[in-house]
């Protein structure tokens, strides 16, 4: 299955998925919305096709998303993986990839959508934090949940220490979810996703 991964920055989740070397998964391209995203160099050093679609070159979200989809679709993806891709996507774009686009979010959704999830979880006095892989729908951070992992929040935690603990789980969880998709083990029913063994 062809997989296109979208990043905006370091791309450590992208690296975890590439390094997992999932049988049947072909990483067709890594695409960033900024030419200086460090993950792009990492991917191209490994012989993966890379592209940049710079959001600043477009004067609307619609124009950017149309250009981005055109580049993505050159690689005939079965799956599009958002890995730290920091752009809000239009409803048309999410519909085009309905059922074949995943995101990872660093909270236990539906709690803490949006930014600064770790700081907000600590401030709320939560005892658990975590990450969620979900299918992408038009509403930000709201699509059907595929898999989650939880970690404790410790008394002495800072935003940095907690985000490092969650990130380790992201690197385990995201390849596992991609593997389940590639193996055709994910079933969406209403708003729930069932993962077959």
- Residues forming the active site: 105
* Unique residue bearing structure tokens 């450590």: 12
Query: β-strands 186-189, 192-195: how paired?
Result: antiparallel
The annotation status of 125 as a binding-site residue, yes or no, is no
Minimum CB separation from ligand GRF for residue 163, in Å? 7
Query: β-strands 128-135, 145-152: how paired?
Result: antiparallel
Q: How many CB atoms lie within 10 A of CB 154?
A: 12
- Tokens read off for 176: 């596992």
H helices within 46-185, ranges in order? 61-73, 91-96, 117-123, 159-182
Contact 133, 103 (CB under 8 A): yes
Minimum CB separation from ligand GRF for residue 3, in Å? 15
Site string (8-47) toward ligand GRF, x via CB under 6 A: -xxxxx----------------------------------
The distance of Cα 93 from the centroid of its chain, to the nearest Å, equals 15
Site for ligand GRF in 90-149 (CB under 6 A): 104-106, 131
50 binds ligand GRF (CB under 6 A): no
Of the ranges 2-10, 22-30, 153-161, 181-189, which one interacts with ligand GRF (CB under 6 A)? 2-10
The distance of Cα 159 from the centroid of its chain, to the nearest Å, equals 20
Q: In this structure, what DSSP letter does residue 55 have?
A: G
Of the ranges 4-12, 134-142, 154-162, 187-195, which one interacts with ligand GRF (CB under 6 A)? 4-12
175 binds ligand GRF (CB under 6 A): no
Contact 113, 141 (CB under 8 A): yes
Minimum CB separation from ligand GRF for residue 82, in Å? 8
Applying CB under 6 A, the residues found at the interface with ligand GRF are 7, 9-13, 83-84, 104-106, 131, 167, 170
Give the residue ranges of the annotated binding site: 11-13, 61, 86-89, 103
Give the residue ranges of the annotated binding site for (6R)-10-formyltetrahydrofolate: 61, 86-89, 103
């Amino acid at each position: 299955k062809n997989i296109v991964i979208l990043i905006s920055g370091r791309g450590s989740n992208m690296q975890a998925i590439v390094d997992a070397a999932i049988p049947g998964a072909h990483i067709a391209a890594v695409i960033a919305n900024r030419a200086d995203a460090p993950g792009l160099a990492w991917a191209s050093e490994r012989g993966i096709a890379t592209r940049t679609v710079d959001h600043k070159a477009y004067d609307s979200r619609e124009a950017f998303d149309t250009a981005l989809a055109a580049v993505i679709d050159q690689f005939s993806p079965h799956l599009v993986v958002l890995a730290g891709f920091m752009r809000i996507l239009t409803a048309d774009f999410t519909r085009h990839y309905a059922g074949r686009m995943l995101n990872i979010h660093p909270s236990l959704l539906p709690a803490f959508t949006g930014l600064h999830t770790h700081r907000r979880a600590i401030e709320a006095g939560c005892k658990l934090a975590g990450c969620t892989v979900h299918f992408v729908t038009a509403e930000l951070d709201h699509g059907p949940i595929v898999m989650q992992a939880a970690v404790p929040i410790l008394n002495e935690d800072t935003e940095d220490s907690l985000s490092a603990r969650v990130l380790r789980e992201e690197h385990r969880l995201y390849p596992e979810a991609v593997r389940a998709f590639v193996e055709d083990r994910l079933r969406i029913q209403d708003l729930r996703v069932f993962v077959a063994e």
